[in-house]
């Protein structure tokens, strides 16, 4: 099965009329988070099928769900702030699913541009990527995340570009 790597939000132009919708907050329109009884420390051991949580360098929550066999990131979700060439910004979420964890404990995925057609004839093109590495015990992970959106008018001219840049993140059990 091929990993799912798509942006799952709504264009900022559409969100401008909604405000906050489905966990996506719009900040400005585009155009518009064991001890033992005898006191000896035990090595941490990952529990199969767990959820790890943390934050990214922008302060947004990051959540990873790992499969019971520890070979897949079932879900990866994070909020991101995208700064725009117009001077505005947007706060969106991005998510991935079914990412294979390699033997070296690394995973990565990037998706090709995905275009959303907006009701007013404009389009928004999204492109993004995620990469990460787990520690040996698979109780912690860290990596990079990026999301970029390009707004075009009905004629195809770029009217704004918004980019999170390469955002670092870390999670733990």
> Considering the domain boundaries, does residue 5 fall inside one?
no
**Mean pLDDT value across residues 57-62:** 98
> Considering the domain boundaries, does residue 43 fall inside one?
no
**Mean pLDDT value across residues 143-170:** 97
**pLDDT, tens digit (0-9, with 9 covering 90-100), for 15-45:** 332 222 223 333 333 333 232 223 333 445 5
Quote the pLDDT of residue 49.
76
> Considering the domain boundaries, does residue 45 fall inside one?
no
- Does the structure show a pLDDT above 50 at 148? yes
The number of distinct structural domains making up the chain is 1
Q: CA-CA distances (angstroms) from residue 76 to 40, 100, 151?
A: 34, 12, 25
DSSP-assigned beta bridge partners for residue 77: 63, 95
> Considering the domain boundaries, does residue 82 fall inside one?
yes
> Considering the domain boundaries, does residue 140 fall inside one?
yes
> Considering the domain boundaries, does residue 20 fall inside one?
yes
> Considering the domain boundaries, does residue 2 fall inside one?
no
Q: Domain residues for 90?
A: 12-29+51-172
Q: How high is the mean pLDDT of the chain?
A: 80
Q: Which residue has the higher pLDDT, 117 or 27?
A: 117
What percent of the chain has a predicted confidence (pLDDT) above 90?
Answer: 72
**Residue carrying the six token digits 């929550």:** 61
**Nearest C-alpha neighbor of 134 from the set 61, 52, 55, 68:** 52
> Considering the domain boundaries, does residue 89 fall inside one?
yes
Q: CA-CA distances (angstroms) from residue 50 to 64, 65, 79, 137?
A: 8, 6, 20, 13
User: What is the pTM (predicted TM-score) of this model?
Assistant: 0.73
């Amino acid at each position: 099965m091929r990993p799912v790597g798509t942006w799952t939000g709504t264009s900022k132009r559409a969100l401008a009329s909604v405000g906050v919708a489905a966990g996506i907050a719009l900040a400005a329109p585009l155009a518009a988070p064991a001890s033992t009884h005898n006191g000896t420390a035990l090595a941490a051991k990952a529990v199969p099928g767990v959820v790890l949580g943390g934050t990214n360098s922008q302060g947004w929550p990051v959540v990873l769900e790992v499969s019971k066999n520890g070979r897949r990131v079932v879900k990866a979700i994070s909020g991101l702030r995208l700064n725009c060439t117009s001077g505005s910004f947007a706060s969106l979420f991005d998510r991935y699913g079914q990412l294979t964890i390699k033997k070296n404990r690394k995973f990565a995925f990037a998706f090709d541009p995905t275009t959303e057609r907006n009701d007013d004839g404009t389009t928004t093109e999204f492109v993004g990527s995620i990469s990460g590495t787990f520690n040996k015990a698979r109780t912690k992970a860290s990596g990079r995340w990026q999301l970029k959106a390009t707004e075009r008018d009905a004629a195809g001219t770029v009217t704004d570009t918004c980019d999170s840049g390469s955002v670092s993140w870390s999670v733990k059990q």
